[in-house]
Structures are given as structure tokens and as C-alpha cells.
Amino acid sequence: MTGLTYSQWHGLMTHKVRAYDWYTCRRALNDCHDTLALHKDLSTDDEYYVKLWAEIDALRERQAALAKLGQAPINPPQLQGATA
């Protein structure tokens, strides 16, 4: 990997998700959590683990921003197989 810090990853992920809609964020969050579940043996200082959490945080922030703008569903449907 690249040796980036959490803050650097978070900046990259915030840029990556800036145009995502609420549902794309939701699917990406589920993918991140599924990936974490598959790699539960990763150390918390492993760069891949740090990258995943930076992406999760960026996605949650994007969803919160969309909700503030009124662009989030009021009663979001459950995604099939959703874990989060």
C-alpha cells in the first residue's frame, strides 16, 4: 500500500464519495462492513483497516450532509443482506 495516514485516507475518501447519492453511500457502507468482517484478523494499525475506516467515516459524513439537504429517504428500505 502507500503508507498514508488516516487523515490522508479520509481526505481521499471524502473526495471519492462527494458525488454519491444516499443509496450509493448505503451500499458502499455495507461493502466496507462486509470487508471488515471478512478480514477480522487485521490489526487496527494495518493500513487496509485504516483505509476502510476512513472510507466508512467519509460515507457516513456524506449521508449526514445529504440528510441535512433533505436528500435522504425518510424511511430508508433495508438492503438485501444488509448488516449495517
Given a cut of 70, the residues of the chain with pLDDT beneath it are 1, 75-84
Q: Tens digit of pLDDT for each residue in 48-58?
A: 999 999 999 99
Q: What is the pTM of this model?
A: 0.83
pLDDT at residue 35, as a whole number: 96
Q: How many beta carbons lie within 10 A of that of residue 59, not counting itself?
A: 24
pLDDT at residue 84, as a whole number: 46
pLDDT at residue 36, as a whole number: 94
Are 63 and 11 a contacting pair, CB within 8 Å? Answer: no
Nearby residues of 84 by Cβ (< 8 Å), 6 or more positions away: 29, 30, 33
